Every structure is written in C-alpha cells, then in structure tokens.
Amino acid sequence: MAPSLAPTILQRRIAIAAALCVAAFALVGVRLVDVTLIKELPQRVVPVAEAPRSRPDIVDRNGQLLARDLPTKDVYARVKLLGDRARAARLIAQATGDNPVRIARLLDGRHPYILVARQLSPDALLRVMSLGLRGLEYQSSNKRIYPDGRAAAQVLGVTDPDDHGLSGIELGLDARMRAMPAGARVQLSLDMRVQYALAHELRLSKEKFSARAAGGIVMDVNTGEILAMASLPDFDPNLRDVGAQSGRNRMVQDRYELGSVFKIFSFALALQDRTTRLDEVFPIGDNLRVGRHIIHDAERMPAALAARDIFAQSSNIGTAQIALRSGAARQREFLASLGLLQAPDTELAETAAPLIPRNWGDLETATIGFGQGISVTPLAFVAAAAAIVNGGRRIQPTFLRHPADARGEQVISPQTSVAMRALMRYVVTDGTGKKADVPGYDVGGKTGSAQVPGPHGYVPHKLLTSFCGVFPIDNPHYLVFVMLDEPNGTKDTFGFALAGYTAAPLAGAVIARVAPILGLVPKTPVLADARKTP
C-alpha cells in the first residue's frame, strides 16, 4: 500500500509558524522602508537633569547689584573608574585647590559615587576637565556671588552650597525669593553710596580709638527705610568665611545698655506727660540715693541744673529724678509703645529681643531713665528714636525699598516732638554733642557713654560710646546712629574716651559725607546787602 501524501499535524504546525515568521519579517521590512525612505525616525528622548533654579538678584535702592547666582558645576566621581585613586586625589586637589587628604578620604572606595567638589570656578573646572580622568562627571549648579564683597555683608547674609539662605536678607527673605518668578529681583532700601561712607568712617574711628568693635545705622525717619547698616569687624561673603565675630551683625543681634542716648525717651515722656518743665531747676550734688543704691554722674556737675541742661550735659542724677516722676508703670508702658520691649519685626531673621528687668521698681526706673538696666539692639533704639523726632509717630524699620511715608500710630504729640528736636539741637550747640555739628545741616542729637557690664558688675574704665544724630533737625529726614565698643582715649582727646570725644565726631563725619549724597542742600548764612550804606 502506497504511503499517504497528506501532511501530518506536526508539519502543518511548522508551516503555520513559518508563515507567521515570514509575515512578521515582512511587516518589519515594510516598516523599515516606511521610516527610512518615507518618514524620519522619531528622535530618542534622553532625560536631562533640570538646571537648578536661580535665586533672584538682590539690588540696592538705585539698582546696584548686590547678589546674583552664577551658573557653575559640581564634580562627582565614579570611584571604580578612576584607576589609581591616590594619583586621582592628588591631581584633583591640585586642580581645585582643595586638601589632598580630604579628597583621598572621599575616594577610599566605601561609596561608589561621591561628590568631589562643589561650585567650581570656570578656571578650576577647566583644570579638572583637562586632567582627563575617567569616572568624573559634572552637574550644573549655582554659586551666589556678592560683587561688593564686604559692603553690607551682615545685612545681605550668605547662602549654603545648595543656595538656601543662611543669614541676613538671604535667610529672612528665603521663602519669598524661592517663590518669585524667573527674572525677578529683590530691591533693598540700602543706598550703597551711603553704605560705603558709613563703613569707611566707622573703620577709621575704630582704628583711631583702638575700639573692639564698631557699628552704625542710617535711617529715613519717615519711611523706616534702612539706608545703611554696618557692623565691624565684618567679612567677605564670597569666601564664606563667617567667623563668630565677623559674621555677627551687632546692630540687630547684640543687645546693649546704651547709656545716655536713652535719656531721649525719659525726657520725651516727661514733656509728654508734663511732669517736668525744661526751665525747672533740679538739685544735682555729688550723688543720688535710691533705696540702698547710689547714682553718680560720669563727670562732675554743678550743684543744680535746669532740665534742659540736665539733658545737654547728660546728668544721670538729674535724669533719674525726672524718670522717677514718671514712675515704673508709666515708663514701662511708654517704652512698650515705642516698640522697645520686643524684638523689631524686620526682614532680618536674627533680630534679638531686649533684656528687661524682672522687677521694675524705683531703682530700675531711675537707671533705665539714663540707659542702664535695660539692653536693646541698636536697630530697636533707632526705630524708637525716629518716632520721637518725626512728629511723634511710630515707625517700622525695613530693609526693602519703600519710599512712601510709613509712619504709624501717634506715640507722642507733634508738640512734644518739636520740643524734643529743639532739645536735641541744644545738645549739639551747647552740650556734649558739639563735635557732631555739621555747618549748614542743623544737626541735633544725644551722646551716650555706657559702662560695659561684666560677670561681676560693670568693668572699670570700659565704655560703650554712641551718638544719635538727626538732620536737619527742624524738619528731620534722616537719623544716624554710631557706636564704638570699648574705645580708648588718644592724645587728641586728652585721654578721654567719652562719647563727646569719640562717637560725636564720628557721627559728624558720617553726616557731612552722606547729607550731600542724599540731596540735602546746606543752609548758607544770610549775608548783609553790600549795596546798602550803614
């Protein structure tokens, strides 16, 4: 019997599979022809790391650049691909200027992928890339730069390598800056022309009087804008070398017993409540007993002084008597209304709260009257003093440009403010502030010479001297506060280190420089008409 020629089941399955393969290859062939001859192949999408978002620029009130992010690169290493790790560490350290021991520790092999260097400068990056080391990779990042270096360093602050604010404005406005759209900028109230002048004069006086530290503030008394703020010693934020002293903004972080500049508030309260007349005469003598404590004057005073001369000659004994008339409760209420019993609310995160006495009795009232027994930041003092001279309305200090009048609630009457301005002018013409006078600008002000407290009471012969100057005093626009920490007398000052010899001339030098910058034209004396015959 002849064999059957019909295909078996296995043969049919093989035939079907072969047909499917042919069809599949045919479809692939058609698709290849389609994409190569008829259409372009779609581009391959390669995921790319998103470039880090830049922080907004910071500029001063005139648009001068103060801080900006620059694009840079971070260097990473795949350790196993480097080969000779000791050699790689040495070469990378030479190219970046880093410590070779630190680099070698990073490349010890415990981590396969490590960050070697951050925010390289273009030159350093080129040197690293020129090494030709396998295993190095580069990632985009930003580096914050401060073109003016030390100028306003503590106000601006710094950022960390991840571009987060660490101090100053960079910290205080960190969340706000992160929410700002690309291309936006933060405009501060600072005027760098005024900033340079203030810092320069502070540096000169710090050196002249061998002071431990110095600081100053220039404020618009009607808007609350801080036009300049300096604290010495300072630092270069580009080096990120923020030491415990140089990085500290003494104007907002440190609290001081400011001494006799505080008498401004005691006299404003007395005039406001009419507990004292400026022509009223007070006994002075050698000392004043309050309970078991004795109050002295820094210098010998006459046996009696009128109230205006108590202020002008800066008598502690006379001021204590005036403060006691106001009483503890009223004194505390008044200082609170000026914002002196709480930390100033500003764009700087570091502002410190005051140190106030737990028991506020007669002795505390007397000593606070002349600036002892209460410690405040210079910024808090400046804001309160501005309210005394600007017509009597409380002011909110700000580091953002805000040129409109921003005076708030009335804390003293306009009449009291006028009287205080006249009294402060009297200090400069006839009192301890004569060396702060600047011809043509009618400066008013108050000196302050405070004893420096130590662990066992006040330290003998060590002072914190300050001057609060306002100009032009008949229509105040600006307030200048300067401070010298532990200045020493010189031959020119006959060995005296009191504020009248140290801080007052410093304030005068600052005012003389910044007044023309701020557009204030000096007054000129009225000359007799030469055409008229006598």
Which residues are known catalytic residues? 260
C-alpha to C-alpha distance for 309 and 313, rounded to whole angstroms: 6
Provide DSSP, 398-457. Answer: BSB---S----SBSS-HHHHHHHHHHHHHHHHHSTTGGG--TTS--EEEEEEEEEEETTE
Helix (H, G, I), strand (E, B) or coil at 108: coil
C-alpha to C-alpha distance for 19 and 163, rounded to whole angstroms: 64
The letter for the amino acid at 74 is D
Provide DSSP, 351-407. Answer: PPPPB--SS--HHHHHHHHTT-S-BB-HHHHHHHHHHHHTTSB----BSB---S---
Backbone torsions φ then ψ of 113, nearest 5 degrees: -140, 115
Helix (H) or strand (E) holding 144: strand 136-145
C-alpha to C-alpha distance for 465 and 260, rounded to whole angstroms: 9
Helix (H, G, I), strand (E, B) or coil at 193: helix
Q: For residue 350, what are the β-bridge partners? A: none
User: Which pair of tokens denotes residue 91?
Assistant: 């070469």
C-alpha to C-alpha distance for 35 and 29, rounded to whole angstroms: 10
Q: For residue 186, what are the β-bridge partners? A: 58
Yes or no: say if 117 and 138 are a contact pair by the CB < 8 Å rule: no
User: Which pair of tokens denotes residue 355?
Assistant: 């140190």
